[in-house]
Structure 1
Amino acid sequence: MQKTLFKMTMGLGIMVLAAVQVQAQTCAPREEIIKRLAETYGETRQGIGIARQGAVMEVYASTASGSWTITVTLPDGMTCLIASGQSYEDMAEALPPNV
């Protein structure tokens, strides 16, 4: 019984944490997000990729401060901040040899 109660409590805690993270996610028109990243953090686009359903994933970073941000822009033009952090490093690793 205690194990079941513990699992239910942990599950509820994880769901609450996930809800808080979703609520904290910032979305705005792309132009506003890009301007704020540039002016506030000195970040510029360092990488780009196509995600599901026509969304565009971009990585912005500042080589001066090391801050970085991952955004996703939806087809309707809204951009959401997905993750951010510090200690960004630009890397260009060679592909592994064909085996």
Structure 2
Amino acid sequence: MFKRLMTTGLLFGMAATAPPATAQGCAPRDYIVDKLENRYAESLAGAGLQGRSQAMLELWSNPESGSFTVLLTSPEGLSCIISHGSDYFAIEQKEGIEGDLG
């Protein structure tokens, strides 16, 4: 009995300290882009195709405010906000360097 109570207490304790689940916002790309451009003054800073799914990973940013948003857009035009935040800064590629920087 004591072991069951202890286990139950530990499980509830771990659940209480777990980070909250973040709702992933998805909508038609045009709708999200309109909000990013008009509400946050963000513009497209970079993009690339993701694997075989051909989903487009997009980075939107506002260099003045530092806000940024990462979108994943399906070929059907549905975009999901993967991440967003503040303190964005761009790194300029040095002249003569091409390809993978890693």
Q: Verify same fold: TM over 0.5.
A: yes
1:17 alignment counterpart? 20
Q: Deviation at 1:56? A: 0.7
What is the CA–CA distance in structure 2 between the aligned matches of 1:40 and 1:87, rounded to whole Å?
Answer: 17
What is the CA–CA distance in structure 1 between the aligned matches of 2:17 and 2:56, rounded to whole Å?
Answer: 31
Aligned residues: 89
Unpaired runs of 5+ residues, structure 1, are none
Unpaired runs of 5+ residues, structure 2, are 95-100
**1:7-39 CA distance string (max 9 Å, x none):** x3325874x933xx2xx2211111111111000
Flag the structure with higher helix content.
1
Superposition map of 1:1-99 within 5 A: 1=3, 2=6, 4-5=7-8, 6=10, 8-9=11-12, 10=14, 14=18, 17-18=20-21, 21=22, 24-52=23-51, 53-92=53-92, 95=101
**1:24-83 CA distance string (max 9 Å, x none):** 221111111111100000000111122241111100000111100000001211001111
What is the CA–CA distance in structure 1 between the aligned matches of 2:33 and 2:91, rounded to whole Å?
Answer: 23
What is the CA–CA distance in structure 2 between the aligned matches of 1:12 and 1:89, rounded to whole Å?
Answer: 35
Query: Structure 1 13/47 Cα, relative in aligned 2: closer, same or farther at 3 Å?
Result: same
Secondary structure in structure 2 of the residue aligned to 1:72: strand
2:97 alignment counterpart? none
What is the CA–CA distance in structure 1 between the aligned matches of 2:88 and 2:34, rounded to whole Å?
Answer: 20
Bigger-Rg structure (1/2): 2
